């Protein structure tokens, strides 16, 4: 009987466990429903073509970045790389203003467009290129049917709408040519069935409709003639219009077409503000005086041709002078003006077989594609026999010159052998959007090529520009031959600037040389390019851990700034006595060694009062040797996020190493990178974040200097936080301030602020260990066990938190490299214990991070009988009060000092409700159930 009760109890227990487990495991949230896209705010043409769509992203800014495809009329549109890639074609592009540009390369006047985005419902629009509008199609939108007009002769047929819903009334307009009349007008549905037309109107069926009109010749009428003397012209300055009036009041009502220089212009119902359009209103013919688009307005020398029913064709020429327009009976376009064109700027050099003709992309985590030139086309129109003045020149795309493609070209010729023509492998491309000329193709042969442009306008005027050189390099050039003063530009101070040519140099010397190049001492600046984000490339990639086979030496007297350069891992830069190296918008993949008497700085402009900059990084290593100086630098690493050639790094070594006695001046900010992915073979655990600084000697902070070092560990990808400073028998001393913050460990250990063995003896020291987000992790220490803190040092020591939700509003970790750390967060009181006290100093239990009150919950969440080491909050503790600093390490049977995190009750990483733990319980329950079933079968078999 007892056994039966026991088995019933076990079955009950197992059922309860299954119920709890099933509830926990089944609590996974359902897939989120798709969200609705933002509302369409506006739609307009993009320079007269295509569609520019703006959306209300104030409620949902994420939709634009989630767009995966755009289909128009059932065909997938190609995503463009720039706004200029969308031009009356089948492409789309999302610009920086969160607008979508969609090409109008579909056949019909209207088309259905579907925009798809991850996590969102499809947005369906009806695009109408007759007026460049977009209409949102909802599920309730009634089906529409197309209305087409069959081809006809001797007249035109139009309808007031190109598509309509069943039951809509459609109006047909049939206009015979002069001398013809309408013979018949019919409409039929898609099956050929006739549709009744009454007073040129019909009711739309549930079918596509085709309109047919037949015109017949009528007895000839005498055509009227308009004389030049019948035309008067006035100027409407308020609306910016030229207004033409004719004595015959019926003439403009009979106008069929108006052309300018044999190009038909569009009849427009609104006030014209561009060329290519006209309006007839209140008995006047109106043209824009100025154009606010690429279509030029009327200009002197234009010939206007008007055809009107019942009238002879009227042709006259306009002349504009002193802001007055007059007409004449001439019919040949043109005037006494001469066209001039010039090409300004330069073309970036290229390498043979260079793909994409872009400079190197991405010394940061962003990869960018760059234009290959900064050349532009400018034009001037002056009277014949006169030379253009500087004020006469305008960008072609901003001028009133209307270019015709026939007779206009970008010309490329081999300078050495013009007879070969263009054998460069490149073609010139002119952009109507910004007036620039770029080059497309794959460079084929080394050499110098001359580039010019020839322009022909619609009045037949032709001009050819000056030439600009474009050079193609073989890629085998040596730095020794290229880095000479003869290839540099001398500046007013007698120094030189080197614009690196070609933009990528892999060879330092000939293979027989020692691969060492000395920078001329008078070179003060070395540019990879003059565009931020476009990099010159020096050297080549070598495997991680390999010594650099190439050496670039800065000799005494050389004060060099590297700008927009990517120094690859094969290169070691040596800064000798009396030399200084400054990095701006550049990246070091290899190593920089600063010798005795040398100085290093980066991301800092020392002009005037000085300012910190952005863009330069060290993915390799900076080594400061005995007698060197580090001053005013913002140093950060992307070593584990940027590939070394084709190899992913796994680098946890410190970014900066101090060997010997080194001075630090001004302010230096230093941060290691996030942890690499994978397991560290040395520890068998996940890699740590990169250490910031290692001191093997003595680093002396000059008076009022600031050194702020941060171990790698700001993102959830870093399991174990990096140490900020590692002392290898070293010393940090001086009359400055030291700030060290360990990186956060998101699944494991937080990084120490200062680890290793050595001494810190500075005026002020703010030391904070990194947090361990997981409750089961270990927080970083402010001070390692083997690190001594001088009694003369004012200090604030904070061990990291464990299992806590970090308050990023008051976080002391330097997260945003675009700004400097806020030094007001690292206050240190004058609390030095006094000279002679050099023993290890422990963090005070009442220390807390700046801005963090820690009073959001009770301090009884930790284990009451363990040596757990989390942070207690300032909230209510049922068994006693608890300060907001780090709780004591000893056990407490009453739970007064339990070291759990004072939180708000939210679940943290490491809680017992994790899926892995529930899975384990599930397996245990199944095993127990199986055992019980087997036991019962055995019992039954024995009966």
790 closest CA partner among 732, 722, 858, 844: 732
CA distance 254 to 224: 11
Query: Tokens representing 395?
Result: 């960008």
**462: how many CB neighbours lie within 10 A of its CB?**
12
Distant-in-sequence, close-in-space partners of 109: CB < 8 Å, separation ≥ 6 = 128, 129, 130, 162
Domains 228-334 and 338-361+372-469 share a fold: yes
Is 229 within 8 Å of 272 (Cβ atoms)?
no
| 228-334 fold | Immunoglobulin-like (2.60.40)
CA distance 814 to 796: 18
Q: Please state, in angstroms and as integers, the Cα–Cα distance from residue 636 to each residue in 640, 654, 911, following that order.
A: 12, 11, 35
Q: Please state, in angstroms and as integers, the Cα–Cα distance from residue 602 to each residue in 267, 354, 568, 608, 625, following that order.
A: 61, 31, 17, 16, 17
The kind and range of the H/E element at 807 are none
Is 813 within 8 Å of 671 (Cβ atoms)?
no
Strands (E), 491-628: 496-499, 504-505, 516-518, 523-527, 534-538, 550-554, 559-563, 565-567, 571-575, 580-584, 587-588, 591-594, 599-602, 604-605, 611-612, 617-618, 621-624
Domain positions in the chain are 1-26+912-943, 40-136, 146-217, 228-334, 338-361+372-469, 475-614, 650-852, 853-908
CA distance 621 to 548: 12
Distant-in-sequence, close-in-space partners of 192: CB < 8 Å, separation ≥ 6 = none
CA distance 706 to 822: 12
Strands (E), 150-267: 155-159, 163-165, 169-176, 180-189, 201-203, 209-217, 231-236, 241-246, 255-260, 263-264, 266-267
The kind and range of the H/E element at 732 are strand 725-741
Looking at residue 807, what is its pLDDT? 56
Q: Please state, in angstroms and as integers, the Cα–Cα distance from residue 115 to each residue in 42, 66, 92, 93, 686, following that order.
A: 16, 10, 10, 12, 42
Give the 3-state secondary structure of residue 8.
helix
pTM above 0.85, yes or no: no
The answer regarding whether domain 338-361+372-469 maps to CATH 2.60.40 reads: yes
pLDDT along the chain (943 residues), means of 10: 47 44 43 81 88 86 90 90 89 90 89 92 91 81 86 93 90 91 93 93 92 84 87 92 95 96 94 94 94 84 94 93 89 86 92 71 40 86 92 92 86 91 90 85 93 87 94 94 96 96 94 92 95 92 92 98 97 98 97 98 91 96 98 97 92 96 98 94 93 98 98 91 97 98 93 97 97 88 96 95 64 92 95 71 54 40 36 37 35 35 34 44 52 44 41
Query: Tokens representing 36?
Result: 């609705």
Looking at residue 366, what is its pLDDT? 39
Query: Tokens representing 555?
Result: 């000799």
The DSSP output letter for 782 is S
């Amino acid at each position: 009987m007892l056994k039966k009760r026991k088995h019933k109890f076990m079955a009950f227990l197992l059922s309860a466990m299954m119920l709890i487990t099933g509830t926990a495991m089944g609590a996974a949230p359902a897939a989120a429903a798709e969200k609705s896209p933002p509302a369409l705010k506006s739609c307009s043409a993009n320079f007269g073509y295509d569609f520019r769509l703006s959306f209300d992203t104030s409620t949902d800014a994420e939709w634009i970045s989630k767009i995966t495809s755009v289909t128009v009329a059932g065909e997938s549109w190609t995503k463009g790389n720039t706004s200029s890639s969308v031009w009356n074609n089948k492409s789309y592009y999302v610009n920086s203003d969160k607008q979508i540009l969609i090409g109008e390369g579909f056949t019909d006047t209207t088309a259905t467009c579907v925009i798809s985005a991850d996590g969102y419902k499809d947005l369906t629009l009806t695009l109408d290129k007759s007026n460049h509008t977009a209409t949102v199609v909802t599920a309730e939108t009634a089906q529409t049917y197309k209305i087409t007009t069959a081809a006809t002769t001797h007249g035109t047929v139009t309808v007031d709408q190109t598509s309509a819903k069943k039951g809509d009334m459609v109006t047909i307009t049939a206009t015979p040519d002069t001398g013809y009349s309408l013979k018949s007008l019919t409409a039929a549905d898609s099956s050929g069935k006739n549709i009744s037309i009454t007073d040129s109107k019909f009711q739309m069926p549930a079918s596509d409709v085709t309109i047919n009109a037949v015109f017949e010749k009528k007895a000839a009428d005498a055509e009227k003639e308009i004389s030049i003397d019948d035309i008067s012209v006035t100027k409407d300055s308020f609306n910016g219009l030229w207004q033409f009036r004719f004595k015959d009041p019926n003439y403009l009502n009979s106008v069929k077409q108006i052309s300018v220089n044999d190009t038909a212009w569009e009849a427009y119902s609104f006030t014209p503000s561009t060329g290519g359009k006209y309006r007839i209103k209140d008995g006047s013919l109106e043209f824009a005086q100025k154009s606010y688009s690429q279509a030029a307005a009327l200009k002197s020398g234009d010939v206007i041709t008007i055809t009107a029913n019942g009238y002879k064709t009227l042709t006259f020429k306009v002349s504009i002078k002193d802001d007055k327009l007059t007409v004449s009976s001439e019919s040949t376009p043109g005037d006494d003006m001469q066209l001039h064109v010039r090409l300004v700027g330069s073309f970036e050099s290229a390498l043979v077989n260079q793909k994409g003709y872009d400079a190197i992309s991405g010394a940061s985590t962003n990869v960018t594609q760059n234009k290959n030139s900064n050349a532009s086309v400018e034009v001037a129109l002056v009277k014949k026999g006169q030379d253009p003045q500087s004020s006469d020149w305008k960008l072609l795309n901003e001028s009133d010159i209307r270019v015709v493609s026939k007779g206009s070209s970008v010309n490329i010729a081999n300078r050495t052998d013009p007879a070969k023509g263009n054998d460069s492998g490149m073609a010139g491309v002119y952009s109507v959007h910004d007036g620039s000329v770029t080059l497309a193709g794959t460079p084929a042969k080394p050499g110098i090529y001359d580039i010019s442009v020839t322009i022909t306008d619609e009045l037949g005027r032709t001009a050819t520009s000056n030439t600009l050189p474009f050079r193609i390099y073989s890629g085998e050039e040596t730095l020794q031959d290229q880095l000479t003063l003869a290839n540099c530009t001398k500046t007013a101070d007698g120094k030189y600037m080197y614009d690196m040519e070609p933009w990528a140099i892999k060879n330092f010397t000939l293979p027989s040389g020692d691969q060492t190049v000395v920078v001329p001492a008078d070179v003060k600046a070395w540019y990879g390019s003059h565009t931020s984000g476009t990099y010159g490339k020096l050297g080549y990639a070598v495997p991680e851990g390999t010594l650099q086979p190439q050496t670039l030496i800065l000799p005494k007297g050389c004060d060099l700034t590297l700008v927009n350069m990517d120094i690859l891992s094969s290169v070691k830069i040596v800064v000798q006595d009396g030399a200084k190296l400054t990095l701006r918008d550049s990246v070091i993949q290899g190593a920089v060694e600063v010798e005795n008497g040398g100085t290093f700085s980066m991301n800092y402009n020392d002009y005037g009062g000085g300012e910190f900059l952005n863009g330069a990084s060290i993915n390799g290593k900076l080594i400061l040797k005995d007698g060197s100086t580090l001053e005013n630098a913002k140093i950060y690493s992307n070593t584990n996020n940027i590939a070394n050639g084709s190899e992913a790094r796994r680098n946890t070594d410190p970014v900066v190493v101090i060997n010997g006695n080194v001075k630090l001046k001004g302010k230096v900010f230093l941060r290691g990178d996030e942890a690499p992915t994978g397991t560290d073979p040395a520890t068998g655990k996940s890699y740590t974040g990169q250490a910031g600084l290692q001191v093997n000697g003595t680093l002396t902070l000059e008076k009022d200097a600031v050194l702020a070092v941060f171990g790698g560990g700001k993102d959830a990808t870093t399991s174990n936080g990096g140490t900020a400073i590692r002392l290898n028998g070293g010393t940090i001393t001086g009359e400055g301030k030291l700030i060290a913050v360990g990186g956060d460990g998101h699944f494991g250990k937080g990084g120490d602020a200062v680890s290793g063995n050595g001494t810190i003896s500075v005026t002020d020291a703010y030391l904070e260990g990194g947090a361990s987000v997981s409750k089961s992790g270990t927080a970083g220490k402010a001070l390692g066990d083997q690190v001594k803190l001088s009694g003369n040092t004012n200090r604030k020591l904070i061990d990291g938190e464990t299992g806590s939700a970090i308050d990023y509003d008051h976080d002391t970790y330097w997260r945003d490299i675009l700004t400097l750390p806020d030094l007001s967060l690292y206050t240190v009181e004058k609390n030095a214990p006094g000279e002679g006290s050099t023993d290890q100093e422990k963090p005070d239990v009442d220390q807390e991070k700046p801005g963090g009150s820690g009073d959001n919950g009770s301090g009884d969440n930790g284990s009451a009988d363990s040596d757990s080491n989390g942070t207690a909050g300032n909230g209510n503790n049922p068994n006693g009060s608890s300060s907001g600093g780090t709780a004591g390490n000893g056990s407490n049977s009453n739970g007064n000092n339990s070291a759990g995190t004072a939180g708000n009750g939210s679940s943290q990483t490491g809680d017992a409700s994790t899926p892995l733990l529930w899975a384990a319980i599930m397996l245990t329950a199944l095993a127990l159930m199986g055992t019980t079933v087997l036991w019962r079968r055995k019992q039954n078999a024995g009966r």
